[in-house]
Structure 1
């Protein structure tokens, strides 16, 4: 198998320049490095804590990753302060595909899946492409990047408890959309949400979509196989997959490996 994209095998030592709180459980850390494309990720290393993949949420010579506090490693990231140092390998992966002839694109996010979609919205608008964003969260407390997205796109907020915007699931909001007005639909979020959104798109016979998968990426260089999606090694050939790639490996949709290597179904 030819691996189309590479992730640096050596990490760079970078200094945290800024830390921004996005909501009660999400913080963004900013640092200098190679400029990524929207949809790419980096491997963040913290001494004595290990290394984990994080999607870029801000793009530029000063880039950022937005991290949800869910365990020991992410708690270590939340404890970082300006002036602290971490190790970074990146940019990694392929990023989102964009075509200048597009007129309008629909972005669909679930939870922290909005992180890589925000710089994509900014890039699309800079190209003169209209953007609409469906942002799904469990509750209003979880919402972040709302003002940022509203400055670049039409935004529909969906919360599961109805505390902000439409009550329900973001896949239900997607089902209500008239998809023939869009040149492309881009999806990013938890895999259960991805499965539901793909089902909606396929049932509506809409095939012009791409999906960013958040699989467990242990090595970032295509060796361990934890992040595999059928025949695709997502840490190297993803994390963004086209509809064609997804359908060719559909048997693995919703099936993933945990950190221990055990296969589970969402």
Structure 2
């Protein structure tokens, strides 16, 4: 048997890995035996979690990973460039495309059915410039399509009666904070504290210093039963975001 080739710690590691990866698998792809085994392994992990956290109540909840997001990809090309940009929705992508077309509208002025000034509607502007089949200008074109943003998540096991880490645990997490500098791969600089990533960088396009907080990788002990992480954001001495009240626990 395969199990005979592994020692108990290895088998436990494989079981826990299988349970975490299960969230990314369509259950219909698994046999009934596989599903039953994974369910029993998941229950065992829950029981182990309760046994190892005597300071927490025995009532916990599972928080599934967030569903995949979606971005709109705009690829535009001409004789001089081939550009690809990401957008939150189709309208913003078309707005970006329309802005470019209006700068070069003189390229099509005088052609049949083309007005002297571009329309205010971005979709109509693109249709007139590139043609209904996008073949009006052989050396130019664009593609616009939606793309799922797939990010492997994991199921969290969090107590219903949330308690933020105490003073000692908080100080230890702060001492263990990690700074990730920008690399040649264009990764932005960030500070990581207990799995929370805080990016601070100069955005020349926005003309501003940008601060971005990513909470998806936060340690389970920071996650409340509703899936949120208590957060307070201050700029100088002004609190600009306040969500630090302990929902489900003491205020």
TM-score (norm 2): 0.26
* CA radius of gyration, larger in: 2
More strand by share: 1
Higher helix share: 2
Alignment TM-score, normalising by the size of structure 1: 0.25
